[in-house]
Each structure stands twice: as structure tokens, then as C-alpha cells.
């Protein structure tokens, strides 16, 4: 669909669609914009499937399945339920909380590099490397492979939802397969070891399932968290006084991060595939229809959020859908929240103010799904 002005700012287009065409069909594509429809679709996995590999040409599907099993993101129950239960073991609140000291250490090591400089690119210095270093540490991957990881992650995100980068999948599958072999010989307390050990009702994860999940963590966890942090800096800069307020009242940081997630969502949209007849509002849908689910538009829905187009740093009720909704609700949400909180805490300890000096749509990531910045020059004082 032609999206006027989308690359500049999508928010005006969402607002217009919510008011004029909240459920909009173009051939087999159905676009949805209201909070109530977005949550209804995401809550009904029986009608709205996530199994996108089912659409692939059989030969490509076969090749891909040999490398890695479909990840939980693109599976429906009952397979989704079984796998999610297994991998959830590695993402318990206690497990995530135990990463805090390491995340703080990584954040400070990154900030030390730009210490004393009054201007720098905060994406390059902090928001881009932080999530890759954290996930590498959690998975048990050596730091020296970080650049390779980031490249893989960028490649995966580029094709997210639209196709498959076979070369990247192959390289990553080989890499993780080697790592699994190493760990099988000497289990440790990293995530790969945890996944090898994980068991529910006597069921273990297969090698292909562990590889599929590790690839998903890179694809789903890195750019999203980078974007959340850069969106936070841009949003605070647009609202002078925000940074100072957070410095004086650090307990407000988690609330402010939730509002950034709502106001400038790192993942703008997701998709579903209709597998049985159903309805969205008054619109009939049938097998073969694609649903484009605009999370960002739902997050700005005036029927749900008072003054929805305003950034309110201490917003009280905030049931945003930036992490999705229903059975696929983001498994990494506690980790993303933790990384964002620690990063903001350390920034507010070091600086009196941080302000984006130049914010341009040109510097945004080139994607219709993700919202964030590839580079962001800041002035730090
Ligand atoms: C799923 C957003 C960070 C792992 C999702 C979904 C969204 C999302 C919207 C649901 C997609 C759908 O229903 O189609 C975000 C945002 C993040 C973030 C905005 C950062 C601010 C992370 C991190 C990790 C992660 C750090 C892990 C390291 C996952 C996984 C799923 C998922 C495994 C699939 C869950 C399932 O299908 O059951 N995320 N994510 N995410 N996310 Fe995140």
C-alpha cells in the first residue's frame, strides 16, 4: 500500500487511518489500526496464524527447516506452547534480574570510551553495541564475535517478515551448531547450556530448535532494544526537562521507558495470516488474507489513551502493545526493560543533560516495521 509521508513520520498517517479507515482492505491485505482490533486479532491465534513458513515454496522450506526449526515467533499452538514452555526457563524474572550487574558493567565500559567528549554518536557508542554484547554474554558467545553477530542480526532484520536471507541463516546455523557441540562437552550456566538442559514433560529441545531460538534472539532482541534507547533519547530531547527530571527522580525511569515504548514503538507492526473465516469489526476475513497489525497506531489510539498523541513522562495507565499481546507477547520484554533502565540510570548519573543535536528522518532505520535511528549525534553536558 502507498503510505503517504510514512518515511518522514508515520504518526499522522496512523491517525488518519484510525479515524477514516480503521479496518482497510486492499485485495488480500487487511490493515488494522484500532487498539480493540489489534488486541482482538493478536488474542485469537486460532483464526490469525503466525506460521509464515507455511507459505514458502516447498524446496526453500525444506532447505530452511534442515538448518533450523521455525522459531516460536512463527509457530502456532500446540508446537508454540511446547517450545515456549521450554525456552521460558531461560527467561524467568529471577534469571533476567541476575544479568543486571553484567549489563551495568557493559554499559559503563561503553560510556567510558566517550568519557569527556561533549558530542558523540550515541547509537555507535552505546545503543547499538549494548544489546549485542548483552545477548552474546547471555548466550555464552565470545566478545570477539560481536561484529559478526551484529552483521547477522542486521541482515535478519532487513528481511524480517518479507523473506529469508539464506546465506545468513546458513552461517549462523553453522556457528551455533559448533557452539552447541562445545557446550555439550562442558555444560556451563549460559543460555545455550540452559537450553540443552531444558526439559518439559520429558521433552528436550532438538539441535535445530536451539539453533532456531538462538537466531530468533539475535533477530528479535538487538535492533529492537537499540531502537528503544535511541527513541528514548530523541523523545526526551523533544521534551526539554525530561532528562533532568529523570536525573532527579530515577525511580521514574521505568515509567518513562513505558511511555517511550507507547509513544515511539520500536516495532511498528506485525503480521498474521488468516487460516479460517472470521471478522475484524465489520470486515469479513477468509483464509489467505494477510493482516497488517499496526501496534504503533493502537498505542496512539485516542479511545484508550487520554491525550494519546502527547508524550507524558509519568503516564499512569499504560497498557501499550509495543511488546505485542497474547501468546506471542515478547519473551525478551523483561530483558529489554532492564537494559533500558540500566542505560538510563547510568546516563543520568554521568551527565547533567543529553540532547540530540540533529534528528533527521534520513538517519532513521530503513524499515517499515522498525522505528529507530542508525545514528544520533548528542550533546552531553
Ligand atoms: C516477540 C517487541 C526485545 C525476544 C515480540 C513481539 C513484539 C516484540 C512486538 C511479538 C511479535 C508478534 O506477536 O508477532 C520487542 C521490543 C523489544 C523487544 C519492542 C525491545 C524494546 C526483545 C529481546 C528479546 C526478544 C531483548 C530477547 C533477547 C522475543 C521473542 C519473541 C518476541 C523470543 C517471540 C515470542 C513468541 O512468539 O512467543 N517482541 N521485543 N525481544 N520477542 Fe521481543
Best mutation site among 49, 138, 235, 330 for ligand 1 pocket (most ligand atoms within 8 Å of CB): 330
When pLDDT is averaged across residues 192-215 and rounded to a whole number, the result is 86
* Predicted pLDDT of residue 17: 96
- Give start and end residues of each alpha helix (H) in the chain: 11-20, 35-43, 58-67, 79-88, 93-97, 100-113, 122, 129-139, 146-159, 166-185, 191-197, 207-238, 242-248, 253-263, 295-299, 333-350
- Please determine, for residue 161, whether its predicted confidence score (pLDDT) is greater than 60: no
* 329 CA from centroid of ligand 1 (Å): 7
d(Cα 212, Cα 215) in Å, to the nearest integer?
Answer: 5
Q: What is the dihedral of CA 63, 68, 72, 74, to 10 degrees?
A: -20
- Please determine, for residue 169, whether its predicted confidence score (pLDDT) is greater than 90: no
Residue 267, ligand 1, Cβ within 6 A: yes
Residue 84, ligand 1, Cβ within 6 A: yes
Nearest protein CA to atom 35 of ligand 1, as residue: 328
Domain boundaries, the chain: 11-380
Whole-Å CA distances, 335 to 27, 221, 342: 39, 9, 11
**What is the average pLDDT value for the chain, to the nearest integer?**
92
- Assign 335 to helix, strand or coil: helix
Would you state the cell numbers that stand for residue 378, as one nine-digit string? 548528542
Best mutation site among 32, 332, 344, 369 for ligand 1 pocket (most ligand atoms within 8 Å of CB): 332
Nearest protein CA to atom 7 of ligand 1, as residue: 323
* 323 CA from centroid of ligand 1 (Å): 6
Residue 332, ligand 1, Cβ within 6 A: yes
CATH 1.10.1040.50 for domain 11-380: no
* 73 CA from centroid of ligand 1 (Å): 8
DSSP codes joined into one string, 147-211: HHHHHHHHHHHHHTTT---HHHHHHHHHHHHHHHHHHHHS--SSHHHHHHH-EETTEE--HHHHH
ipTM: 0.99
Residue 10, ligand 1, Cβ within 6 A: no
The whole-angstrom distance between residue 141's C-alpha and the CA centroid of its chain comes to 21
* Predicted pLDDT of residue 130: 94
d(Cα 268, Cα 297) in Å, to the nearest integer?
Answer: 8
Atom of ligand 1 nearest to the CA of 73: 37
Provide the b/e sequence for 293-314 (b: ≥16 CB within 10 Å).
Answer: bbbbbbbbbeebbeebeebbbe
* Predicted pLDDT of residue 16: 96
Best mutation site among 92, 220, 261, 294 for ligand 1 pocket (most ligand atoms within 8 Å of CB): 220
Whole-Å CA distances, 139 to 15, 39, 128, 146, 215: 40, 32, 18, 12, 11
- Please determine, for residue 2, whether its predicted confidence score (pLDDT) is greater than 70: no
What phi and psi values does residue 275 have, to the nearest 5 degrees?
A: -115, -5
- Please determine, for residue 57, whether its predicted confidence score (pLDDT) is greater than 90: no
* 380 CA from centroid of ligand 1 (Å): 31
State the sign of the Cα–Cα–Cα–Cα dihedral 242, 253, 269, 67.
Answer: positive
- Please determine, for residue 240, whether its predicted confidence score (pLDDT) is greater than 90: yes
Residue 75, ligand 1, Cβ within 6 A: no
* 47 CA from centroid of ligand 1 (Å): 21
d(Cα 313, Cα 302) in Å, to the nearest integer?
Answer: 17
Tens of pLDDT, residue by residue over 307-337, are 999 999 999 999 999 999 999 999 999 999 9
Nearest protein CA to atom 5 of ligand 1, as residue: 330
Q: Are strands 48-49 and 269-274 parallel, antiparallel or unpaired?
A: antiparallel
Tens of pLDDT, residue by residue over 242-271, are 999 999 999 999 999 999 999 999 999 999
- Assign 346 to helix, strand or coil: helix
DSSP codes joined into one string, 211-236: HHHHHHHHHHHHHHHHHHHHHHHHHH
Residues composing the chain: 381
Q: Of the candidates 261, 244, 264, which has an alpha carbon nearest to the alpha carbon of residue 354? A: 244
When pLDDT is averaged across residues 177-182 and rounded to a whole number, the result is 92
Whole-Å CA distances, 293 to 41, 288, 298: 8, 16, 9
* Predicted pLDDT of residue 361: 87
Residue 336, ligand 1, Cβ within 6 A: yes
Tens of pLDDT, residue by residue over 61-90, are 888 888 778 889 999 999 999 999 988 988
Residue 335, ligand 1, Cβ within 6 A: yes
* Predicted pLDDT of residue 376: 96
Atom of ligand 1 nearest to the CA of 42: 13
Cα of first residue to Cα of last residue in the chain, in angstroms, is 44
Q: Of the candidates 141, 102, 111, 115, which has an alpha carbon nearest to the alpha carbon of residue 129? A: 111
When pLDDT is averaged across residues 284-311 and rounded to a whole number, the result is 98
Would you state the cell numbers that stand for residue 41, as one nine-digit string? 486479532
Atom of ligand 1 nearest to the CA of 213: 33
Nearest protein CA to atom 27 of ligand 1, as residue: 332
Residue 266, ligand 1, Cβ within 6 A: yes
d(Cα 70, Cα 328) in Å, to the nearest integer?
Answer: 14
Amino acid at each position: 500500500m502507498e503510505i503517504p509521508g510514512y518515511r518522514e513520520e508515520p504518526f499522522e498517517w496512523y491517525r488518519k487511518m484510525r479515524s477514516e479507515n480503521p479496518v482497510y482492505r486492499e485485495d488480500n491485505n487487511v490493515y488494522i489500526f484500532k487498539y480493540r482490533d489489534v488486541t482482538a486479532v493478536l488474542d485469537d491465534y486460532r483464526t490469525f496464524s503466525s506460521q509464515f513458513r507455511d507459505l514458502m515454496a516447498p524446496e526453500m522450506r525444506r532447505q530452511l527447516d534442515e538448518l533450523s526449526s521455525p522459531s516460536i515467533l512463527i509457530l502456532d499452538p500446540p508446537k508454540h506452547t511446547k517450545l515456549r514452555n521450554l525456552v521460558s526457563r531461560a527467561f524467568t524474572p529471577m534469571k533476567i534480574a541476575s544479568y543486571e550487574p553484567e549489563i551495568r558493567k557493559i554499559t559503563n565500559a561503553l560510556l567510558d570510551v566517550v568519557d569527556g567528549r561533549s558530542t558523540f554518536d550515541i547509537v555507535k557508542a552505546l545503543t547499538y553495541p549494548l544489546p549485542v554484547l548483552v545477548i552474546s554474554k547471555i548466550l555464552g558467545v565470545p566478545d570477539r564475535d560481536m561484529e559478526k553477530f551484529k552483521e547477522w542480526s542486521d541482515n535478519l532484520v532487513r528481511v524480517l517478515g518479507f523473506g529469508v536471507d539464506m546465506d545468513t541463516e546458513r552461517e549462523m546455523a553453522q556457528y551455533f551448531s559448533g557452539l552447541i557441540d562445545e557446550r555439550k562437552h562442558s555444560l556451563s550456566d549460559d543460555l545455550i547450556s540452559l537450553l540443552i538442559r531444558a526439559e518439559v514433560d520429558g521433552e528436550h529441545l532438538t539441535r535445530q530448535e536451539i539453533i532456531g531460538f538462538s537466531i530468533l534472539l539475535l533477530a528479535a532482541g538487538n535492533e529492537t532494544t537499540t531502537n528503544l534507547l535511541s527513541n528514548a533519547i530523541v523523545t526526551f530531547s523533544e521534551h526539554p526537562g525530561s532528562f533532568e527530571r529523570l536525573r532527579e527522580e530515577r525511580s521514574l525511569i521505568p515509567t518513562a521507558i513505558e511511555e517511550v515504548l507507547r509513544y515511539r514503538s520500536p516495532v511498528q507492526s506485525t503480521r498474521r495470516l488468516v487460516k479460517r473465516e472470521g471478522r475484524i469489526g465489520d470486515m469479513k476475513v477468509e483464509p489467505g488474507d494477510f493482516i497488517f497489525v499496526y501496534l504503533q497506531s493502537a498505542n496512539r489510539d485516542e479511545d484508550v489513551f487520554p491525550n494519546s498523541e502527547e508524550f507524558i513522562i509519568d503516564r499512569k495507565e499504560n497498557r501499550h502493545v509495543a511488546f505485542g499481546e497474547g501468546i506471542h507477547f515478547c519473551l525478551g520484554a523483561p530483558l529489554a526493560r532492564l537494559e533500558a533502565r540500566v542505560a538510563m540510570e547510568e546516563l543520568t548519573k554521568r551527565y547533567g543533560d543529553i540532547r540530540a543535536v540533529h534528528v533527521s528522518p534520513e538517519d532513521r532505520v530503513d524499515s517499515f516495521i522498525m522505528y529507530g535511528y542508525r545514528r544520533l549525534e548528542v550533546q552531553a553536558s
